């Protein structure tokens, strides 16, 4: 039966996403779990997979278009529905058709800041009588160009379908512009810039110390999303912080023993994630999130893992960590990191969980605190394991210690429960055989 494929909510609370590319064509058959399209979110590029066999009757959105969550992007049919009155089917779903646009998806030009969809007649190569030519560009290309102060009318719109300017066109133009700017970098007061400053896009002068040089790197979609999300968290979520230290000599010894026969190398972070899941089982008051109606407590333990991927910071979620073996935690974490670098995380892998683990210990950081990633209620910041003087039975000794800081949402969790969780977590690290039970 014919049905509409709609833009999914690929990130919690997201209202729009970019349909980066189509992996199928009109009238093409596909099978269950085939990738239909790639969707570019604020965090990553994710695959939109088919949930059943079928055929593509009509693509309703062009590649590169920004689409609202829930909006129709394609008309799909069953495996035997290649023929039929597509226009009538769309009308039945209340989706307007544009006969003048021809077959295939079309992109509507967006107005620029002046309310026009094109540049001036001179810039577009048209006469005043003909009116300005329409400038076709993807929403993402327009966003990048606007942030960088780039005039889209100066780009050759020939790379995309139908002469559309795409993200890659803008990025190439920025690279060319930045390279040219560096080659003629000002060296003195006669360079055309006011003394002690440099012109900015709106005509004002931005003060610059004498002799200073810098390069403005336009914000990526991912960087903007991170900034927005964490600023909102810092402003609206009442954080409180608890710090603790555990002696981890036994944990390191367990890791060495496990790695003697493990098919995949187990990291300290894998053991920490598993220990956190165990602590959540023993102190379920932390396995919660805040919602406007209630505090939601989960039956299973899902934990986010902060990944500094090549495309930006993402926090994919490991499901059911309390039921996984330590080997499975290591295997699934490695898979998430690999696909995060490639931008191939699935939408459902970017949501869920009550806790996130972020680890800067591999960079030598001893202690830090982190901002909660809503709607999660806590984030565990893990530092480096270091040898330090410790007191054992009243005597000075040397031991390997690990410092952690847990940031907690005070709306969902009180200090007593959080302190009990941290005490339990540290005890598990010091007697790590409990991780494996």
SS3 254: helix
Instruction: Considering the candidates 3, 219, 239, 410, report the single residue annotated as catalytic.
Output: 410
Q: At what angle do helices 415-430 and 249-259 cross, to 10 degrees?
A: 60
* Enclosing H/E stretch for 57: strand 54-59
- Can 410 be counted among the known catalytic residues? yes
CA–CA distance, 207 with 200 (Å, rounded to integer)? 10
Residues ≥6 apart with Cβ < 8 Å to 293: none
SS3 333: helix
Two tokens, residue 73? 């992007």
Q: Partners of 385 in the beta sheet?
A: 402
CA–CA distance, 172 with 14 (Å, rounded to integer)? 28
Q: Partners of 398 in the beta sheet?
A: 389
* Enclosing H/E stretch for 21: strand 16-22
Q: Angle at the Cα of 304 (from 218 to 263), degrees rounded to 5? A: 110
Look at the chain and count its residues. Answer: 437
Residues ≥6 apart with Cβ < 8 Å to 433: 254
* Enclosing H/E stretch for 20: strand 16-22
CA–CA distance, 158 with 166 (Å, rounded to integer)? 9
Active-site residue set: 410
């Amino acid at each position: 039966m014919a049905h509409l494929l709609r833009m999914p909510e690929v990130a919690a609370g997201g209202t729009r996403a970019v349909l980066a590319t189509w992996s199928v064509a009109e009238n093409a058959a596909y099978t269950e779990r085939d990738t239909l399209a790639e969707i570019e979110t604020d965090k990553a590029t994710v695959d939109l997979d088919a949930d059943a066999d079928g055929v593509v009757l009509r693509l309703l959105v062009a590649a590169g278009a920004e689409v609202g969550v829930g909006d129709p992007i394609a008309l799909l049919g069953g495996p035997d529905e290649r023929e039929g009155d597509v226009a009538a089917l769309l009308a039945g779903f209340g989706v307007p058709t544009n006969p003048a646009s021809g077959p295939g998806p079309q992109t509507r030009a967006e107005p620029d800041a002046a309310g026009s969809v094109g540049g001036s007649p001179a810039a577009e190569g048209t006469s005043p009588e003909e009116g300005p030519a329409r400038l076709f560009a993807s929403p993402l290309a327009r966003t990048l160009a606007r942030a960088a102060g780039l005039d889209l009318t100066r780009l050759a719109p020939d790379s995309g379908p139908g002469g559309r300017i795409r993200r890659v066109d803008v990025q190439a133009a920025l690279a060319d512009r930045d390279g040219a700017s560096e080659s003629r970098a000002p060296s003195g007061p006669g360079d055309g810039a006011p003394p002690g400053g440099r012109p900015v896009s709106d005509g004002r002068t931005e003060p610059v110390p004498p002799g200073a040089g810098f390069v403005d790197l336009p914000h990526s979609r991912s960087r903007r999303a991170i900034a927005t999300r964490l600023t909102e968290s810092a402003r609206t979520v009442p954080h409180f912080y608890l710090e603790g230290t555990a002696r981890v000599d036994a944990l390191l010894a367990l890791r060495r023993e496990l790695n003697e026969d493990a098919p995949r190398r187990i990291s300290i972070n894998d053991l920490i994630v598993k220990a956190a899941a165990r602590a959540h089982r023993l102190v379920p008051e932390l396995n919660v999130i805040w919602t406007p109606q209630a505090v939601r407590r989960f039956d299973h333990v899902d934990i986010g893992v902060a990944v500094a991927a090549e495309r930006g910071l993402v926090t994919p979620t490991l499901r059911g960590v309390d039921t996984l073996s330590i080997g499975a935690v290591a295997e699934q974490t490695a898979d998430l990191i690999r696909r995060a670098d490639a931008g191939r995380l699935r939408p459902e892998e970017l949501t869920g969980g009550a806790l996130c683990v972020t680890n800067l210990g591999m960079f030598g950081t001893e202690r830090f605190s982190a901002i909660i990633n809503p709607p999660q209620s806590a984030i565990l910041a893990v530092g480096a394991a270091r040898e330090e003087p410790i007191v054992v039975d009243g005597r000075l000794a040397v031991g390997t210690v690990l410092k952690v800081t847990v940031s907690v949402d005070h709306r969902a969790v009180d200090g007593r429960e959080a302190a009990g969780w941290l005490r339990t977590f540290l005890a598990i690290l010091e007697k790590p055989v409990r991780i494996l039970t």
